[in-house]
Amino acid sequence: MKHFFNRKDTIVTEALDGFLATAGSGALARLDGYPEIKVVLRADWDKTKVAVVSGGGAGHEPSHAGFVGAGMLTAAISGEIFASPSVEAVLAAIRATTGPAGCLLIVKNYTGDRLNFGLAAEKARAEGLAIEMVIVADDIALPDIAQPRGVAGTLFVHKIAGHLSESGHDLASVAAAARAAAKDIVSLGISLSSCSIPGQAHEERFGADDGELGLGIHGEPGVERIALEAASKLVAIMAERLAARLDPHSRYALLINNLGSVPPLEMSLIANAVLSSSLAKAVALTIGPGHLMTALNMNGFSLSLIKLDAEREKALLAPVGLHAWLPAKPVRAPVVVAMAKPVTGTATKPASRDAAAERLIKAVCQKLISLEEPLNALDAKAGDGDTGSTVATGARSILERIDTLPLADNAATAAAIGDTLGTSMGGSSGVLLSIFFTAASQALGSGTSLSRALVAGLDRMAFYGGARIGDRTMLDALEPALKALDASGLEAAAEAARQGAEATAAMQKAKAGRSAYIGRQLDTADPGAFAVAEVFAAVAALFAPA
């Protein structure tokens, strides 16, 4: 897999410098000692309060440096990618931040972190500093393991301890609250791919139709391979396992964490699935969805829950002086605002039957639905590969409403089809076809013949869309077909559409539509023109003499 980097051995230091340069507040600094000592700390820290220090390997950004600031971490120590920071780096962070109030170290439950942070703590104590350490082991993926991993639930501990420190609590109370919180956190992750490390060869261990449940934040294999299913089903599996560890009489905060490369669209869908699952009744606060503790570019997410009490809720809701933390928010049902009614307009015509019209509409829609995959494949060569799905969506929406159409009235039917396509299809094609049928409806209403009315619709569509013959769009097939239909009939129209669609394959550069943004020469037919030709061929066959 490809990555943006300069040299493997400078990735982390360059990234930290980029982070500090763009943080903007001036409230953050780093210790000197690069590259061995990689510590980001609060520039305004005066050591009168309990220092809250955490860290670990790089590759989990924005954790841990992104959570340094008022109300959360005092300092974060980074190792190389997925490697624990050294004892010397941890000790440097402790010395830089710890005064008479002492220091709390928050450590994820990995051997390297426990040992390096632990030895640093012992050395700091030998220097006379007051040090406490809490180990977070929130991963429930491996229920029988003696030492569960520390994963994204660690951030709850960062937030609670940071709030208590900022509020002036002493080391004993901050440490006690952090340890109690750590015991009340459960987390579980799932991914559809493993992560890749810059500068290292990557071999994907996942199949095309599976993922892993319970894998670690360093790319460790999951507890089990899981078949790719609908997101709601995958979330339901996770929810069932998490719910088994919850107190049914308690309220919880939920952290929805993007492990690296899940698009925001999918993360919001996942959030909706979680809040529709068996976990929903227990969740009072949500944090995310968003990037909080990642695993480089892992295509997965994790869910973490912490049992709430009044103090924890107050801590999680408290504002912080850093940009990476996502504020906790109460769960709220979506607010739905009623759509406004049209101020003016013609009344909708009642449904009516016409066998020939129904036969024609069904034939066209069924043909377009059958073309979904071929059209997507054509569009993928020059666009985003969704023309077939967009057109099929419009066709299905018309079929679903066919019993409500005023089929005995051509003008009213065209208007209804235009309204349906404008609402259901989306994108430019939906609007263009809505314009086409709406304008054709107006022409039919004034007594124009069907073929002439369709030409009138074409004229309006071309005007608003800005395309002309030769621009490599659906017009290259639709315009000659409709003109042939008006002049010579259906068979001639089908032949003209076919020739027009074939001509688009020889056009070196599109001048309109999404294909216009492609700099290279295209050698396939325009998907819109291809669809028009296929529809005319289907209609011609439908009405061909027996």
Q: What is the pLDDT of residues 355-364, one digit of tens each?
A: 999 999 999 9
pLDDT at residue 518 is higher than 50:
no
Amino acid type, 223: V
pLDDT surpasses 70 at 511: no
Q: Is the pLDDT of residue 514 over 70?
A: no
Are β-strands 252-258 and 283-291 bridged in parallel, bridged antiparallel, or unpaired? parallel
- At the top level of CATH, the class of 8-195+209-330 is alpha beta
Q: Quick one: pLDDT at residue 173?
A: 98
Helix (H, G, I), strand (E, B) or coil at 64: coil
Percent of the chain with pLDDT over 70: 95
Q: What does the pLDDT average to over 270-294?
A: 97
- Give which of 223, 224, 206 is closest to 298, Cα–Cα: 206
Averaged pLDDT, 53-68: 97
pLDDT at 517 over 50: no
Which are the catalytic amino acids?
218
Start-end ranges of CATH 3.40.50.10440 in the chain? 8-195+209-330
- DSSP 8-state code for residue 260: B
pLDDT number for residue 30 = 95
Mean pLDDT of the 311-330 span: 94
Token duo for residue 209: 């139709």
Does residue 383 register a pLDDT over 80? no
Where in the chain is CATH 1.25.40.340?
Answer: 355-542
Mind listing the pLDDT tens digit for each residue in 185-195? 999 999 999 99
Residue with tokens 């994820």: 108
**Mean pLDDT, the chain, whole residue set:** 92
Per-residue DSSP letter, 435 = H
pTM of the model: 0.74
Q: Which CATH superfamily is domain 355-542 in?
A: DhaL domain (1.25.40.340)
HEC secondary structure over 384-441? CCCHHHHHHHHHHHHHHCHHHCECCCHHHHHHHHHHHHHHHCCHHHHHHHHHHHHHHH
Tell me the C-alpha distance between 374 and 389, whole Å: 10
pLDDT of residue 385: 86
CA 221 to chain centre: 23
CA 266, 269, 270: angle at the middle one, nearest 5? 90
DSSP letters along 330-380, please? Answer: E--PPP-PPPPPPSS-PPPPPPB--HHHHHHHHHHHHHHHHTHHHHHHHHH
Q: How far is Cα 159 from Cα 317, in angstroms, rounded to an integer?
A: 9
pLDDT digits (tens, 9 = 90+) for 206-257: 888 899 999 889 988 888 899 999 999 999 999 999 999 999 999 999 999 9
- Nearest residue to 107 via CA among 94, 126, 125: 94
Cβ burial 58-82 (10 Å sphere, 16+ → b, else e): bbbbbbbbbbbbbbbbbbbbbbbbb
pLDDT range class, residue 348, cuts 50, 70, 90? confident
Q: What is the mean pLDDT of residues 293-311?
A: 97
